[in-house]
Amino acid sequence: MNEYMDMLAAYGVTSARPGGKLMTNTIFEKHPLKKNSAVLELGCGLGDTAKFLVDKWNVNIDAMDINKKMLQKAKVRHKREKNINWIVGDFTSYEFPQKNYDGIVAESVLSFTNVPESLKLLNQRLNNDGKLYFLEPIYLGGLLDKEIQEYKDFYGFQHLYTENEWKEVCSSKNFSTIDIVRSYDIPEIDGTDNVFPELVIDNNLNKKHIEILEKHNELTENYFAYFDFAYFVSKRQDN
Ligand SMILES: C[S@@+](CC[C@H](N)C(=O)[O-])C[C@H]1O[C@@H](n2cnc3c(N)ncnc32)[C@H](O)[C@@H]1O
């Protein structure tokens, strides 16, 4: 697993995504889930979004993360939650039981994977009228190849897509985009990352974790002008 994710797990960052809870609240306000429906969350981290969806619609949610420490912390944090089935696993190779979902949620996860292959897999796991919700960085252009490579290498991103490229890759894997909420659609998100997430920090944070956090802060500041982020809602094209 990459060092950036290990750092997020060590600090126990509860909203490890741009826009945090504001983005999540906005998208699900606009595109609610069905009550009691079956949901899959990929890369659930500390599990706060899973808990939010259970509280709001009483969904039954399979919440999966590849990082064991993240899931250990999530289980402790939401230990009373009966509707969340925690799964440690890599969703790209996980043998899903023959089960489809009404909603699949991935907040700041897909870019770490081979996106065309992930979308193909998710299309097969979604019910006919189900929706895929995903939050991702949007590359705005203007960086040198070596700068893009530095950014990708640090985070372990396999792709840095523009908004159009996201729409194209979705379309090529039989998803139609039904909505996009960008950071600037939400006035409370002013670009200064003013909402500091709650942390569930390890007792034994080491020097490496601190260095990785500092490097993340430096990259965020240096490359601020070249990226936005957006939440996409898609559904299967054959519907
Ligand atoms: C940037 S964090 C976002 C965590 C959480 N969604 C949030 O918004 O707070 C990315 C998460 O995706 C998980 N992840 C990355 N690749 C994964 C994969 N192939 N399968 C399952 N989880 C994955 C990481 O372990 C990490 O917890």
Residue 155 lies in a domain: yes
Nearest-angstrom CA–CA distance, 58 and 70: 23
Tell me the pLDDT band of 238, cut-offs 50, 70 and 90: confident
Nearest-CA residue for atom 12 of ligand 1: 43
Give a yes or no: residue 239 inside a domain.
Answer: no
Atom of ligand 1 nearest to the CA of 67: 25
Q: Which of 232, 114, 111, 116 is nearest to 174 (CA)?
A: 116
| CB neighbour burial string for 108-132, b if at least 16 within 10 angstroms, e if fewer | bbbbbbebeebbebbbeebbeebbb
Q: List beta partners, residue 228.
A: 138
132 CA distance to ligand 1 middle (Å): 16
For the chain, the distance separating the N- and C-terminal CA atoms, rounded to the nearest angstrom, is 37
Which CATH number does the domain housing residue 59 bear? 3.40.50.150
Residue 13 CA: which ligand 1 atom is closest?
Answer: 9
Alpha carbon nearest to ligand 1 atom 14, residue: 43
- With respect to residue 236, please indicate whether it lies within any of the assigned structural domains: no
Q: What is the pLDDT of residue 131?
A: 98
Distance, CA of 69 to CA of 86 (rounded, Å): 12
Closest CA to 164 of 232, 110, 222, 109: 232
For 15, the domain range is: 3-231
Asked if residue 72 belongs to a domain, the reply is: yes
Q: Residue 221 Cα, ligand 1 centroid: separation in angstroms?
A: 22
* Residue 238: inside a domain: no
Q: Is residue 163 part of a domain?
A: yes
Number of domains in the chain: 1
Q: Which of 10-14, 183-187, 228-232 has the lowest mean pLDDT?
A: 183-187
Percent of the chain whose pLDDT exceeds 90: 85
CA 15-19-20 angle, 5° bins: 20
Residue 2's pLDDT is 86
Alpha-carbon torsion (78, 81, 84, 85), positive or negative: positive
pLDDT digit string, tens, across residues 21-62? 999 999 999 999 999 999 999 999 999 999 999 999 999 999
Asked, for residue 28, whether it belongs to a domain, the answer is yes
Q: In this structure, which residue's CA is closest to atom 19 in ligand 1?
A: 90
| Spacing, Cα 109 to ligand 1 middle (Å) | 5
Q: Does residue 139 lie within any of the structural domains?
A: yes
Spatial contact of 206 and 213, defined as CB atoms under 8 Å apart: no
Q: For a ligand 1 pocket test, name from 112, 200, 220, 229 the mutation site with the most ligand atoms within 8 angstroms of its C-beta.
A: 112
